A and B are shown apart, each in its own frame.
Chain A
Amino acid sequence: MAAGFSSIPAVLGSIIRSIPEALGLPLAGQLRSLREVVKAESCARQAIERELRTAYSSMEARIDARTAVLTRHNAHLRERIRQQCAFEATFRETERTLQSAQRLTQYYADFDKRRAASDLLALLAENHAIPTSAIYRRDRRTGDFKCVAVHGMPDGGFSSFSFPAGVLTKAAESGRIIRLACIDRSLSNPADSISADAKAPLVETLVVPTMYRESCLSIVVVAGVRRFTAAELAFIDSLRDQLGVAQHNLQLYADSKRLANELHVRNIEIAEKNLQLQDISRTKSEFVANMSHELRTPLNAILGFTGTLLMQLPGPLNADQEKQLGTIQSSARHLLSLINDLLDVEKIESGKFQVQLEEVVLQSLIHEVFETLQPLAAQKKLGFKLSLPKADIRVLTDRRAVHQMLINLLNNAIKFTEHGQVSLQVSRRRTGASGTVELLVADTGIGIKPELQGQLFQAFTQLDGTSTRNFHGTGLGLYLSRRLATLVGGNLHCESQYGKGSVFTLALPVQRT
């Protein structure tokens, strides 16, 4: 093995040399091809590395892009969450406000001023972080303020805030909210130790006038332990609007309640008065009925025996006796007619007059009246003219009422006419289903002054003092006639020219509806 230990490189060289032999290749060619192999391999490696780099960079680009997308997405989510939170906050705030408003309305629906005020302040403390507050009501007449409720003050010994002079009045007059900073100093002594619950000192006070139509109804003073935020200010501003309306309503309610009470009292008084009046009216009715009965009894004797004397039953009369007895008789008859008028008025006014409908032929009724009054007209040398249609006019009415109205109207016409004539004209008017009949009583008498025509149909009225002396009567005739006309469904009115005469028109329905 000495040859074997000659030298390692020689050995190695020989090995290397022998390799191609062993491989069956020529050595030089073997080396060359080896180099080419290595070279090719490194080329391949470089290509792979290039590709790898390319792949890496493209991957990075994609990752970047992806990251950017994610970032954007996150930002969007964060925004959504923020919005959601804000929305929820607003929602809660709105809910609280709504709740306040609701409770407010409820308080005011109770219409208990004191309770409403203190409940409102409690609500402000509970829902709106306004620990300390007070309400001052303004007297509508004097303009003075009076504390009606406080909240968040230590119990006892405290009646109200004390302010720099004139702050309340200033707020009331300007209608604006006044912000007072460092309020704890402007508060009265007990207010310094303010807020049993919120021990912190008060930082800001708002003097909030509640207005309705430019006039201040009350002032709410709220104090907080920090400065009020814009949202809180907005809330307070809307609150005071609401309060203004609510207080105004409350005021209206109080006023109407007071009026209702007064009205109630008045109603009771009126009811009492009515009872008294009814009593008086009944007494009057009884009195009139009794009086007329009592007056008719002696008249019965006067008229009766005057009658027997005039009939000359006891013996013959001389001319003077007959004339004087005639005067007694006509006066007694007149007195009787006055009593009858009074009785009729009483009957109508107490509702005892019952209309009795029957078919009346107007012509025959009118002739009857004419017969009665013709002598009176003849006595005064007056013309008395009837103007009637030839065909019978049948009217469904109360015979007695129409008779009395005609007697009254014609009697008046004769009474107030000195020269000329009295006439009665009847004509039909076709109005409505069955039409009406008009009876015109015209005279050429003294007439009625326009300014007195309004009093014509009033009870116990004779148109002027002087006529009472010249003309007899109670002044009931026309009043009665108009009432009777209404009762039978017709009407009575008058046209007159002073000094020339009057026309009274009585309209009667042919059929009573």
Chain B
Amino acid sequence: MSARILIIEDNATNMELMRYLLQAFGHTTLAASDGRQGLVAARYEMPDLIICDIHLPKLDGFGVVRKLKEDLCTRVLPVIAVTAHAMVGDRDKLLDAGFDGYICKPIEPELFVTQIDAFLPLERRSARAAGVRPAGGEPSAQPPDYPIPMR
């Protein structure tokens, strides 16, 4: 089994890195490049986990997590902050704001998926252990990036 993970990140390279790593370990990813898109995607797609940057256009990470935790439907979703803000005291600030976890940039590729897996139920964790070489090639059938078409 694998998980559907929403990544809210405005930096394309970072987005690509995280998508690549998560997909390489068998997860399905959804992408949103600003806070509002991320919120919409979270409500429509109800992913298993949300990875959220702090500095985001339109609505920052704190705003996103507040809205998600206010909503009875989305409050159950684990939200992990991934940020370059490595300041002392930031960790407590993030957890107080409602984030369930916190990963500091730059991410460590060898540990990243394991760190994310820790927030997923056992049956949703990545199928492959870290360091195992994937079959190669891009994983297919990825859902489109947000904004998603409104139904």
CB distance from A407 to the nearest CB of B (A): 16
B20 at the interface (CB under 8 A from A): yes
Is A300 in contact with B88, judged by CB distance below 8 angstroms?
no
How far is it, in angstroms, between the C-alpha of A314 and the C-alpha of B21 when the chains are bound?
10
Is B105 in contact with A354, judged by CB distance below 8 angstroms?
no
A46 at the interface (CB under 8 A from B): no
When distances are taken between beta carbons in the complex, the residues of chain B under 8 Å from A431 are: none
- Mark B25-46 against chain A: 1 for CB-CB distance below 8 A, else 0: 0000000000000000000000
How far is it, in angstroms, between the C-alpha of A225 and the C-alpha of B89 when the chains are bound?
92
Tell me the residues in window 62-104 of chain B with beta carbons closer than 8 Å to chain A beta carbons: 84, 86-89
How far is it, in angstroms, between the C-alpha of A301 and the C-alpha of B11 when the chains are bound?
10
CB distance from A325 to the nearest CB of B (A): 12
Q: Is the interface of A mostly helix, strand, loop or mixed?
A: helix
Is B14 in contact with A353, judged by CB distance below 8 angstroms?
no
Count of A-B contacts with CB under 8 A? 69
Which of B11, B109, B130, B133 meets A303, CB within 8 Å?
A: B109
Is A300 in contact with B107, judged by CB distance below 8 angstroms?
yes
Which of A300, A313, A353, A356 meets B134, CB within 8 Å?
A: A313
Is A296 in contact with B17, judged by CB distance below 8 angstroms?
no
CB distance from A371 to the nearest CB of B (A): 15
When distances are taken between beta carbons in the complex, the residues of chain B under 8 Å from A300 are: 13-14, 17, 84, 105-107
When distances are taken between beta carbons in the complex, the residues of chain A under 8 Å from B17 are: 300-301, 304-305, 308
Is B110 in contact with A311, judged by CB distance below 8 angstroms?
yes
Tell me the residues in window 267-315 of chain A with beta carbons closer than 8 Å to chain B beta carbons: 293, 296-301, 303-308, 311-315
Is B13 in contact with A312, judged by CB distance below 8 angstroms?
no
Is B106 in contact with A311, judged by CB distance below 8 angstroms?
no
A336 at the interface (CB under 8 A from B): yes
When distances are taken between beta carbons in the complex, the residues of chain A under 8 Å from B134 are: 313
Also in contact, A301 and B108, with CB within 8 A (given A308-B24, A313-B134):
no
When distances are taken between beta carbons in the complex, the residues of chain B under 8 Å from A306 are: 109
CB distance from B10 to the nearest CB of A (A): 11
B131 at the interface (CB under 8 A from A): yes
B121 at the interface (CB under 8 A from A): no
Is B106 in contact with A312, judged by CB distance below 8 angstroms?
no
Is A297 in contact with B14, judged by CB distance below 8 angstroms?
yes
CB distance from B82 to the nearest CB of A (A): 10
Is B24 in contact with A313, judged by CB distance below 8 angstroms?
yes
When distances are taken between beta carbons in the complex, the residues of chain A under 8 Å from B87 are: 347, 352
Which of A293, A311, A356 meets B131, CB within 8 Å?
A: A311
Which of A304, A312, A353 meets B107, CB within 8 Å?
A: A304
When distances are taken between beta carbons in the complex, the residues of chain B under 8 Å from A352 are: 87-88
CB distance from A480 to the nearest CB of B (A): 15
When distances are taken between beta carbons in the complex, the residues of chain B under 8 Å from A311 are: 109-110, 130-131, 133
Is A304 in contact with B133, judged by CB distance below 8 angstroms?
no
When distances are taken between beta carbons in the complex, the residues of chain A under 8 Å from B110 are: 307, 311
Also in contact, A307 and B136, with CB within 8 A (given A300-B17, A353-B88, A354-B89):
no
CB distance from A269 to the nearest CB of B (A): 36
Which of A304, A343, A354 meets B109, CB within 8 Å?
A: A304
How far is it, in angstroms, between the C-alpha of A336 and the C-alpha of B130 when the chains are bound?
24
CB distance from A151 to the nearest CB of B (A): 78
Is B133 in contact with A299, judged by CB distance below 8 angstroms?
no
How far is it, in angstroms, between the C-alpha of A216 and the C-alpha of B86 when the chains are bound?
73
Is A313 in contact with B20, judged by CB distance below 8 angstroms?
yes
Question: Taking CB as reference atom, which chain B residue is nearest A313?
Answer: B24
How far is it, in angstroms, between the C-alpha of A293 and the C-alpha of B89 when the chains are bound?
17
Question: Taking CB as reference atom, which chain B residue is nearest A306?
Answer: B109
Is A303 in contact with B106, judged by CB distance below 8 angstroms?
yes
Which of B84, B108, B130 meets A293, CB within 8 Å?
A: B84
Is A308 in contact with B20, judged by CB distance below 8 angstroms?
yes
How far is it, in angstroms, between the C-alpha of A356 and the C-alpha of B91 when the chains are bound?
13
Known: A298-B13, A316-B133. 20 other contacts (CB 8 A): A297-B105, A300-B105, A301-B14, A301-B17, A303-B106, A303-B109, A305-B17, A307-B110, A308-B20, A308-B21, A308-B109, A311-B131, A313-B21, A313-B134, A314-B136, A315-B136, A347-B87, A347-B88, A354-B89, A356-B88
13 contacts between A and B (CB under 8 A): A293-B84, A299-B106, A300-B17, A300-B105, A300-B107, A301-B14, A307-B110, A308-B21, A311-B110, A313-B133, A315-B133, A315-B136, A352-B87
Interface residues of A (CB under 8 A from B): 293, 296-301, 303-308, 311-316, 336, 340, 343, 347, 352-354, 356, 400
